[in-house]
Structure 1
Amino acid sequence: MKRSVVKPLLIPLTAATAGSFWLSYRLFKYAFERVDHVPPTSKEKQKYADDYYRYVDWMKQVPSQTWTLNAQSPENKVVASFIPADSPTTDTVIVAHGYKGNRETMANYVKMFHDMGFNALVPDDRGHGESSGQYINFGWLDRLDYLQWIQRVISHVGQDSRILLFGVSMGGATVEMISGETLPPQVKALIADCGYASIKEELTYLLKQQFHLPEYPVEPLVSGINRHFLGFSLDDVSSTKQLAKNRLPILFIHGGRDTYVPVHMAYENYRATNAPKQLWVVKKATHAESFWYDPAAYKQRVTAFLKTYFK
Structure 2
Amino acid sequence: MVKGLAAIATILLFLVTVYFIVEYYFSQIVTRKLKDEDELFQNQVDKGLIDKDFYESLPKEEIFLRSREGLKLRGIYIEANKDSNKTMVFVHGITVGLTCSIKYTEMFLKRGWNVLIYDQRRHARSEGQYSTYGYYEKEDLDLFINWLVDRKGKNEIIGLHGESMGAATVIQYDSINKYAKFIISDCGFSNLNELLRGKIKDDYGVFLYPVLKLSDLRAKRKAKFKFEWIKPIEVVRKSSIPMMFIHGDRDKFVPWNMSVQMYKSKENGIRRLYLAKGAKHAQAIEVDKKRYEKEVMEFVDEVLNSIN
Per the normalisation by structure 2, the TM-score is 0.86
| Counterpart pick for 1:239 among 232, 242, 246 | 232
Whole-angstrom CA distance in 1 between matches of 2:134 and 2:68: 23
State the alpha-carbon separation in 1 of the partners of residues 242 and 301 from structure 2.
12
- Name the SS of the counterpart of 1:244 in structure 2: helix
Q: Specify the code of the residue in structure 2 equivalent to 1:265.
A: M
The residue type paired with residue 278 of structure 2 is: K
CA distance in 1, matches of 2:190, 2:39: 22
2:115 is matched with 120
Instruction: Answer yes or no: is 1:169 the counterpart of 2:167.
Output: no
CA distance in 1, matches of 2:202, 2:51: 32
The alignment status of 1:294 with 2:294, answered yes or no, reads no
Offset at residue 37 of structure 1 (A) = 2.9
* Residue identity in the other structure for 2:186: D
Aligned partner of 1:169: which letter? S
Number of residue pairs matched by the alignment: 292
- Paired with 1:256 and 1:47, the residues of 2 have a C-alpha distance of 23
Contact kept? 2:138, 2:169, Cα under 8 Å? yes
- CA RMSD after TM alignment: 2.6
Q: Choose 1 or 2 for highest CA Rg.
A: 2
The answer for the alignment partner of 1:5 in structure 2 is none
Letter of the 1:189 partner, please give it: F
In the alignment, the residues of structure 2 paired with residue 145 and residue 71 of structure 1 have an alpha-carbon distance, to the nearest angstrom, of 6
* Counterparts of 1:306 and 1:27, CA distance in 2: 38
Query: Aligned to 2:23, which of 19, 22, 25?
Result: 25
Q: Which amino acid counterpart does residue 146 of structure 2 have in structure 1?
A: Q
Shift of the 210–156 alpha-carbon distance from structure 1 to 2, 3 Å rule, reads farther
Matched residue, 2:4: none
Q: Quick check: 1:255–1:289 contact (8 Å CA) kept in 2?
A: yes
Counterpart pick for 1:50 among 40, 46, 49: 46
Rounded Cα–Cα distance in structure 1 between residues aligned with 2:171 and 2:59 = 29
- Any gaps of 5 or more consecutive residues in structure 2? 1-10
Distance 2:16 2:54 in 1: 50
Which residue of 2 is the match for residue 209 of structure 1?
Answer: 202
State the 1:71 CA deviation: 7.9
Which amino acid in the other structure matches residue 209 of structure 2? Y
Deviations 1:33-59 (A, max 9, x none): 1545349999xxx99661357445643
3-state SS of 1:229 partner: helix
Tell me the distance in 1 between the aligned counterparts of 2:152 and 2:21.
Answer: 48
- CA distance in 1 between partners of 2:43 and 2:170 (Å): 28
Deviation (angstroms), 1:278: 1.1
- Contact 2:45/2:51 (CA < 8 Å) preserved in 1? no
- Of 189, 192, 199 in structure 1, the residue corresponding to residue 192 of structure 2 is 199
Q: Does 1:70 align with 2:71?
A: no
Any idea what the Cα deviations from partners look like across 1:81-109, whole Å, max 9, x if unmatched?
11112352110111000111110111110
Q: How does 1:125-136 map to 2 (within 5 A)?
A: 125-136=120-131
Q: Secondary structure at the match of 2:105?
A: helix
| 1:142 and 2:137 matched | yes
Q: What is the distance in 2 between the residues matched to 1:149 and 1:121?
A: 8
Distance verdict in 2 for CA 1:38–1:270, change over 3 Å: farther
Is the CA contact (8 Å cut-off) linking 1:35 and 1:128 kept in structure 2?
no
Q: Does 1:90 align with 2:85?
A: yes
Q: Given that residues 172 and 195 in structure 1 are in contact (C-alpha distance below 8 angstroms), is that contact kept between their aligned partners in structure 2?
A: yes
Percent identity, aligned pairs only, is: 25
Alpha-carbon distance, 1:76 to partner: 1.2
The structural deviation recorded for 1:17 is 3.8
CA distance in 1, matches of 2:201, 2:277: 24
Q: Structure 1 stretches of 5 or more lacking a match?
A: 1-13
Residue from 295, 300, 306 that aligns with 1:306: 300
Residue number among 172, 176, 179 corresponding to 1:182 in the alignment: 176
Secondary structure at the aligned position of 1:252 is classed as strand
